[in-house]
Amino acid sequence: MSPLEQSLIAFTLAAALMTMTPGLDTALVLRAATVEGGRRAWAASLGVCLGCLAWGAVVAGGLGVLLAASETAYRMLKYAGAAYLVWLGLKLILSQRDDFGTSAPDGARDAGEWLWFRRGMLTNLLNPKVGIFYVSFLPQFVPPGHDVAATTLLLAGIHALLGLAWFAALILATRPVAAALRRPRTIRWLDRATGTVFLLFAARLALSRH
């Protein structure tokens, strides 16, 4: 087995464990799956995974090192991410919805799916911890003598595929209880619970250091 194959296997195992660790991306997809439906949950999942690929491209291009080294760049992205999470959290907490507009026309449904795709991507891209994670974690699995940029992109692609597999499992797991979770009272409770989680993540992000 070549050094690259060994590195890919080791990275896949480590990244799989990290992917299954509960975090903001998981909370976002779970909330979408339980009360918004599978299509919007998939849209959020694809957005998150595209964000991972974008971070991989940033790190492969060397810009991730700037984020890791520059306190100003890190803080700017960190506060932007925290502000976005506060906005999402407050919007959910203050929501008084009784349903999710399942009878909306096709155009409205498409807009909703695009909205969740954008939320997933921005939630990932505006979290500098993902960039720091990629800068500090991915280079450990680049064997000596191999192209750093190409291997980094390959590792980010593996991470994105693992994320899609994990999100698929979450979406399928919510199907048996989806109908019960769409009751008006449950919808409002889930909105507030998810909004509170987002606010907690925003506070954690804003108060965190490198």
pTM over 0.75: no
Q: What is the pLDDT of residues 131-163, one digit of tens each?
A: 777 877 777 788 888 887 888 899 999 999 999
Residue type, 156: A
The confidence band for 12, taking pLDDT boundaries of 50, 70 and 90, is very high
Q: Look at residue 67 and tell me whether its pLDDT is greater than 90.
A: no
Q: What is the pLDDT of residues 80-106, one digit of tens each?
A: 878 887 888 888 788 766 554 433 334
Kindly report which listed range (28-37, 45-54, 137-146) carries the lowest average pLDDT score.
137-146
The confidence band for 120, taking pLDDT boundaries of 50, 70 and 90, is very high
